[in-house]
């Protein structure tokens, strides 16, 4: 170019660079000062995984379609830069919020922002399906959701949205070692921007998970004996207790 800057890469060029990356499910692609993330079609290691998780090529194609559909509605999801049958290239939207939550390096403003962002997504009649903290990024200003896989919906019901809320709260409890304050701030952010009907559906879904808490009891016992600090099993009862108390 006349001013000395390189011309932007085409989608085909980006996908070629993506294919040249070392094998891995997710990888970072750096081109000059621009950062991208590349997601590759999953390679099932055995027939059981193929049966239980389905065709990985179709799964990647479905996620590409969902990202485009969510983006068309203005949802805070990762920007799809390029895609083909085996790779998709996504814009870099900052760091996952899981690490600062795990280390207690997050303030109440960001925690409320996470909850409010999910409520904004729900206001578009969308459901993420699995809003774990590792799939939520923050770039210093905005929240972005990644990984629209199983459970994502373009015509979400209150029950679908309640599932999202439960998973988000549960993820906060697991990651923060059942820190009630952090989870309460996320809930506060969601309720300030979300609908009362979804919160009521969340309470109903939480009450209905008594059987899951019962199934988790052996794992709770084992984790407590080992002194495990962050327990997926213990977080089930902690999440349900917190929701019941609000």
Q: Is 209 helix (H, G, I), strand (E, B) or coil?
A: coil
Position 48 scores a pLDDT of 55
In a domain, 4, yes or no: no
Domain count along the chain: 2
pLDDT value of position 49:
55
For strands 136-138 and 143-145, give the pairing.
antiparallel
Q: What's the rounded Cα separation, in Å, for the pair 185 and 31?
A: 37
Q: What is the pLDDT of residues 143-195, one digit of tens each?
A: 999 999 778 999 999 999 999 999 999 999 999 999 999 999 999 999 999 99
Q: Read off the CATH number of the domain in which 213 is found.
A: 1.10.510.10
Does residue 3 fall inside a structural domain? no
Distance CA 235, CA 2 (A): 58
Residue 17: which domain range?
A: 11-91
Q: How confident is the model at residue 9 (pLDDT cuts 50, 70, 90)?
A: confident
Residues 149, 221 within the same domain: yes
The pLDDT mean for the chain works out to 92
Asked if the structure places residue 1 within a domain, the reply is no
With a cut of 70, say whether residue 50 has pLDDT above it.
Answer: no
Are 133 and 78 in a shared domain?
Answer: no
203 and 122: one domain? yes
Inside any domain, residue 18: yes
pLDDT value at 97 more than 90: yes
First and final C-alpha spacing in the chain: 59
pLDDT of 43 strictly over 80: no
Q: What is the per-residue pLDDT for 188?
A: 98
- 137 occurs within a structural domain: yes
pLDDT band at 1 (very low <50, low <70, confident <90, very high): very low
Domain assignment present for residue 5? The answer is: no
Same domain, 118 and 151: yes
Is pLDDT larger for residue 52 or for residue 57? 57
Instruction: Confirm if 70 and 64 have CB atoms less than 8 A apart.
Output: no
Give a yes or no: residue 53 inside a domain.
Answer: yes
Regarding whether 60 and 35 lie in a shared domain, the answer is yes
Question: Which residue(s) pair with 136 in the sheet?
Answer: 145
- Is 175 in the same domain as 108? yes
The percentage of the chain sitting over the pLDDT mark of 90, rounded to a whole number, equals 82
Same domain, 146 and 44: no
């Amino acid at each position: 170019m006349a001013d000395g800057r390189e011309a932007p890469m085409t989608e085909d060029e980006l996908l070629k660079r993506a294919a040249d990356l070392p094998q891995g499910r997710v990888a970072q692609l750096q081109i000059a000062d621009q950062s991208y993330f590349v997601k590759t079609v999953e390679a099932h290691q055995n027939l059981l995984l193929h049966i239980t998780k389905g065709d990985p090529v179709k799964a990647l194609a479905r996620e590409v379609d969902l990202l485009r559909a969510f983006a068309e509605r203005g949802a805070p999801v990762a920007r799809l830069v390029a895609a083909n049958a085996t790779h998709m290239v996504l814009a870099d939207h900052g760091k996952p919020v899981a690490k600062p939550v795990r280390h207690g390096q997050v303030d109440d403003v960001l925690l409320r922002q996470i909850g409010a962002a999910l409520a904004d997504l729900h206001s578009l009649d969308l459901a993420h399906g699995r809003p774990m903290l590792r799939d939520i990024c923050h770039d210093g200003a905005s929240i972005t959701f990644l990984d629209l896989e199983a459970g994502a919906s373009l015509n979400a019901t209150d029950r679908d949205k309640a599932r999202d809320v439960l998973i988000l709260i549960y993820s906060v409890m697991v990651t923060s070692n059942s820190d009630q304050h952090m989870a309460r701030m996320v809930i506060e952010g969601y309720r300030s921007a979300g609908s009362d009907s979804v919160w009521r559906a969340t309470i109903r879904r939480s009450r209905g998970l008594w059987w899951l808490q019962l199934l988790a009891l052996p794992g709770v016992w084992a984790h407590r004996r080992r002194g495990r600090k962050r327990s997926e099993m213990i977080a089930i009862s902690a999440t349900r207790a917190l929701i019941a108390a609000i």
